[in-house]
A and B are shown apart, each in its own frame.
Chain A
């Protein structure tokens, strides 16, 4: 059998073989949960039935379609906040890495910002930036600033003396050393910081929405749970998970593309592409 089936099929079989036990376990959990609620072991007001959650998802996404607006509002807030926070963080980190005095006189403020629970700023930020999207973006930016700053700075400060010496011995300028040696060495850490930052940006957006907002999954969630509509509330929570997964995996994708040399397959693909480009230029 195995000698006539193509390679892809066995891979598919393997995948199936790996996934089926997971699915069985998941189904089992759902069935026990459903039964426990139906038989009255768990109050459905506190923990609703899985089928009720499923119904709420269908209603939110397909029947009424109320979720989409809120979903994209929160997604936009988190992403814009992240972009602002990340660009400030990376700029400050690069300045700190390039200039010792800058680092010395800026770092105390960064540390103060780090030890303050950023979430405590929620009411003040809402007073400053209003009830709209501005305050959510601002809180997301504040919360995601520090992990990105600290990771970028750590990445840029790690010096590989041997390689630097090699660069100098072939006459590289300081700018070249920075661009070709220190930045690529810092990128993996920078992306690790970005991944953390993106998650915290989402937290910032959602918490600001809890406090005061008219749109966004955070508002939807608190509205549903104060109506004791737990099924819809959990469905909204799953939507937040979805936002989180979308953000995380898009960052993972960028990480894969930009820091391609860290992974064997990506490095091979990149070198193949380079080889093709060279061959085309050579007129082959």
Chain B
């Protein structure tokens, strides 16, 4: 270890006092810029047809156009996100509720299993045209599609979280004569909630995909429709700008869910335990006369 430290120090000294981390960041940036540069050069020299593979600079220009000059992305982003949130909440309630119902009831579980297997094998997004035909164009069918696409991950995860209870711990709880409510609150939920949260995270990603497919089919508003229209007009730069918007959105969703997970399932990480522990200590401090 010491040898490695001196080696990295030596390297750091040679490369102008930058730390290992800084040099890595620099290299990342360098690779990224080289790729972008190659892309730009390829498009400018006519190796890549700019009609299909837009230049990075024109994508940047499109970002300026759709966000600031025309500003049309905001409305569509809002339309998509409100659908995603509504569908995700609906799908979560359905998934977690059904998962808990099935998980706690062995008979229901046994009879529902074949249907779950069939449902798992079906590409659920394929029901989209059917739902649109049944519920008509508009928000209701879109939300129905999103609910259908995203309820499955919370359902399965809730089910497995509730079913996979540690037998040894359960026996200990029983031997201490814990009530059913206590077993649920103090044993089942603490182990199940992180799993359920993982399901919710998957569901939110799936909800975004579901919303996009619904908008591809309905073509009225939202990011999906925007991408479709731009691509049909061969305005690839704007289309790419929309896709990168979705990348940023996906990243925010990912990070946001991680943050929520961190705070809800606080017992799964050191920092959360410390935070809650400190708060409890503050509350209890006066009572125990600290």
| A225 with B216, Cβ < 8 A, contacts A115-B247, A117-B205 known | no
Interface centre among B24, B122, B228, B230 (most CB of A within 10 A): B122
Could you tell me the distance between the alpha carbons of A25 and B108 in the complex, rounded to whole angstroms? 11
Q: Does A17 contact B (CB under 8 A)?
A: no
Main secondary structure on chain B at its contact with chain A? helix
Asked whether B114 lies within 8 Å of A120 as measured between CB atoms, the reply is no
**A91-99, A233-241, A256-264: which one contacts chain B?**
A233-241
B125 at interface by CB-CB < 8 Å = yes
Is B130 within 8 A of A237, CB to CB? yes
A221-260 residues with Cβ-Cβ distance < 8 A to B are 221-222, 225-226, 228, 230, 233-234, 237, 240-241, 244-245, 248
Q: Do residues B130 and A230 form an inter-chain contact, with CB atoms below 8 A?
A: yes
| Residue ID in chain A nearest B130 by CB atoms | A225
* Nearest CB on A from B217, distance (A): 6
CB distance from A157 to the nearest CB of B (A): 19
**B10-18, B232-240, B280-288: which one contacts chain A?**
B232-240
In whole angstroms, how far apart are the Cα atoms of A118 and B210 in the complex? 11
**Chain B residue with minimal CB distance to A244?**
B121
**Is B138's CB within 8 Å of the partner chain A?**
no
Do residues A199 and B121 form an inter-chain contact, with CB atoms below 8 A? yes
The residues of A that contact B130 with a CB separation of less than 8 Å are 221, 225, 230, 233-234, 237
Cα A16 to Cα B260 with chains together (Å) = 48
Query: Could you tell me if B236 and A124 are in contact, using CB atoms closer than 8 angstroms?
Result: yes
Contact bitstring A25-47, B, C-beta under 8 A = 1, else 0: 10000000000000000000111
Determine if B127 and A123 form an interchain contact, defined as CB atoms under 8 angstroms apart. no
A-B contact count (CB 8 A): 124
Closest-by-CB residue of A relative to B210 is A119
Q: Is there contact, CB below 8 Å, between A206 and B123? A: yes
Check A226 against B129 for contact (C-beta < 8 Å). Answer: yes
Q: Whose C-beta in chain B lies nearest to the C-beta of A209?
A: B126
Among B28, B126, B216, which residue has its beta carbon within 8 angstroms of that of A240?
B126
Residue of B133, B208, B234 touching A225 (CB-CB under 8 A)? B133
For B125, the chain A residues whose CB sits under 8 A away are 119, 203, 206-207
A210 located at the interface, meaning its Cβ lies under 8 Å from any Cβ of chain B in the complex: yes
**B75 in the interface (beta carbon within 8 A):** no
CA distance A75 to B214 in the complex (A): 23
- Given A122-B216, A123-B227, A123-B231, the answer on whether A117 and B208 have CB atoms closer than 8 Å is yes
Most chain B CB within a 10 A radius of its CB, from A117, A203, A221, A233? A117
Picked from A121, A124, A128, A240, the residue with its CB within 8 Å of the CB of B122 is A240
Residues of B within 8 A of A202 (CB): 123
Residues of A within 8 A of B128 (CB): 210
Among candidates B120, B129, B227, B246, residue contacting A210 with C-beta atoms closer than 8 Å: B129
Interface check B213, CB cutoff 8 A: yes
* Contact partners of B37 in chain A: CB under 8 A: none
In chain A between 80 and 139, which residues have their CB closer than 8 angstroms to a CB of chain B? 104-105, 108, 112, 114-124, 126-128
> Is B64 an interface residue when CB atoms closer than 8 A count as contact?
no
A218 touching B247 in the complex, CB below 8 Å, given contacts A211-B216, A225-B133, A228-B133 = no
Contact partners of A241 in chain B: CB under 8 A: 118, 121-122
Among A123, A245, A248, max chain B CB count under 10 A is at A123
Known pairs A120-B246, A241-B118 / 14 extra A-B pairs, C-beta < 8 Å: A25-B111, A105-B27, A115-B253, A116-B243, A116-B247, A117-B212, A121-B243, A124-B240, A203-B125, A207-B125, A210-B128, A221-B130, A241-B121, A244-B121
User: A residues within 8 Å of B by Cβ?
Assistant: 21-22, 25, 45-47, 104-105, 108, 112, 114-124, 126-128, 199, 202-203, 206-207, 210-211, 217-218, 221-222, 225-226, 228, 230, 233-234, 237, 240-241, 244-245, 248
User: Can you list 20 A-B pairs, Cβ within 8 angstroms, ordered by A?
Assistant: A21-B111, A25-B111, A114-B250, A115-B250, A117-B246, A119-B209, A120-B242, A122-B216, A123-B230, A127-B231, A127-B234, A222-B217, A225-B130, A226-B129, A230-B134, A234-B130, A237-B122, A237-B126, A240-B123, A241-B118
